[in-house]
Amino acid sequence: MALVTISELLGQPAAAAFLRGVVARGRYANAYLFHGPAGSGKGTAALAFARAMLCDRGRPAREPTGPVHDDACGACPACRRSARLQHPDLRFLFPVSGEEKELDQTIAETLEALRTDPLFVFSYEKAASIRLSLTRELLRELAYQPFEAAYRAIVVRDADRMREDQYSALLKTLEEPGSTTIWVLTTARPARLPATIRSRCQRIRFAPLPETTLTSFLEARAGVLPREARLLAALSGGSLARALVLRDAEPLRLRDEALGLLAPAIQGDGAGLWKAAQGFMKYGRTGRETLRRMIEFHQLWLRDVLRASVGAPREALANRDRETEIRRQAETLDPREIRRRLMVLEEALHSIEGNVTADLTVFSTMARVAGARLGEGQWPAHPRARWDY
Ligand SMILES: [Zn+2]
């Protein structure tokens, strides 16, 4: 996540055009809700939108003949301060977790990382929430006019992580007519926000980022090698945050290890597969996350084989560094069999949401992907697969 202007946002042309239109008209709703998948740039866009509201060029009242102000200029004193999150009329709330006495420091460290590292990725614990004392303080402040700008912009990142009483307090301020406070909420889980809040927000949808956008960003801005960038982009499911986190995990090595698991399964070596499945689980922080990644590597691989079987060019392959093998498999595997394997993997992805033992899942999944040799060549009994292969 970086502090940028609307025009610098990555790969969200529709949302960006809409926001620039709002800034150009200078007529703001009380609240906006940016929703869409995690890592698609909602938080970055929310801050960029807030900066555009606070930019000095947006004031005084626009003259009809003057240049259109539809974004932060990036150069005025207000923009320079908002770029460092030090504008008095910009408030930025995000979920935190841990001991109350350590939260001040956690928040300060997070803000500093956000200011200094353009590739900073927010990551939360499951229980993280918007801090209660901060919303209380903020609500008291709302009784006063903004300090300098015409508006006060409040950005709440992952606004679905609040408590009931925070929502009811928020609701009251959203209903206030003629308010100079503009709320920009973001969420990847809009259904978790109370319907009363959602209905009072203007909703703006963010789409998953296209793979090509992610690939070029990773190469140009994150120093990722081209062969890894393509794989990371394909693995990330349209999330820049996810791609950046995976970047540190040696994706090519992990992929080769994940694909290597299939070898004993294909040879019908049950004992060897069991050993490999257990060995694989020692990587990564938790078995479940490792497992998910391993399955996703296999899915990407099989999708490449499927693409190759219909003559897709090299550029279309996520694992293009192993193109020869992919083409060889595409010649020998029936596309129907590839789809069956993809569905087994999809089913495994669903089953790891439940309480399954990671190494056992690896074992049975790989055995089934390998086909009949270990006696489990059938299609899944209750496939819930996405049919978009
Ligand atoms: Zn400015």
8 DSSP 8-state letter: G
Rounded to whole angstroms, the Cα distance separating 339 from 214 reads 27
For the segment 257-288, what is each residue's pLDDT rounded down to a tens digit?
888 888 887 777 778 888 887 777 765 556 77
Query: What token pair was written down for 123?
Result: 């990551």
- Highest mean pLDDT pick, 73-82, 124-133, 278-287, 353-362: 73-82
Contact of 121 with 241, CB cutoff 8 Å: yes
Q: Could you tell me the distance, in angstroms and rounded to a whole number, from the CA of residue 79 to the centre of ligand 1? A: 4
| Phi and psi at residue 157, to the nearest 5° | -85, 135
Q: Could you tell me the distance, in angstroms and rounded to a whole number, from the CA of residue 179 to the centre of ligand 1? A: 22
For the segment 84-104, what is each residue's pLDDT rounded down to a tens digit?
999 999 999 999 998 888 889
Name 211's Cβ contacts closer than 8 Å, sequence gap at least 6: 230, 233, 234, 238
Residue 379 has pLDDT above 60, yes or no: no
**Rounded percentage of the chain residues whose pLDDT exceeds 90:** 50
For the segment 323-368, what is each residue's pLDDT rounded down to a tens digit?
999 999 999 988 898 898 898 888 888 877 766 677 777 788 888 8
Residue 178 has pLDDT above 70, yes or no: yes
**Rounded percentage of the chain residues whose pLDDT exceeds 70:** 91
Residue 288, pLDDT score: 75
Q: How many CA atoms lie within 13 A of 287 on its CB side?
A: 16
- Peptide bond just before 60 cis, omega within 30 deg: yes
Query: What token pair was written down for 296?
Result: 């996703």
Q: Could you tell me the distance, in angstroms and rounded to a whole number, from the CA of residue 148 to the centre of ligand 1? A: 13
Query: What token pair was written down for 90?
Result: 């910009």
Q: Report residues near ion ligand 1: CB below 5 Å.
A: 55, 73, 76, 79
What mean pLDDT value characterizes the chain?
86
Residue 383 has pLDDT above 50, yes or no: no
Q: Could you tell me the distance, in angstroms and rounded to a whole number, from the CA of residue 72 to the centre of ligand 1? A: 5
Q: What angle do CA 31, 120, 166 make, to 5 degrees?
A: 35
For the segment 139-176, what is each residue's pLDDT rounded down to a tens digit?
888 888 999 988 999 999 999 999 999 999 899 888 88
Segment 286-315 shows an average pLDDT of: 87
Higher pLDDT, 55 or 133: 55
Residue 373 has pLDDT above 80, yes or no: no
Q: Could you tell me the distance, in angstroms and rounded to a whole number, from the CA of residue 52 to the centre of ligand 1? A: 7
Q: Could you tell me the distance, in angstroms and rounded to a whole number, from the CA of residue 73 to the centre of ligand 1? A: 4
Q: Could you tell me the distance, in angstroms and rounded to a whole number, from the CA of residue 122 to the centre of ligand 1? A: 26
Q: Could you tell me the distance, in angstroms and rounded to a whole number, from the CA of residue 118 to the centre of ligand 1? A: 20
Q: Could you tell me the distance, in angstroms and rounded to a whole number, from the CA of residue 74 to the centre of ligand 1? A: 5
Strand-strand pairing, 129-130 and 31-35? unpaired
Residue 296 has pLDDT above 90, yes or no: no
Query: What token pair was written down for 59?
Result: 């004031």
Q: Could you tell me the distance, in angstroms and rounded to a whole number, from the CA of residue 175 to the centre of ligand 1? A: 29
Q: Could you tell me the distance, in angstroms and rounded to a whole number, from the CA of residue 5 to the centre of ligand 1? A: 10
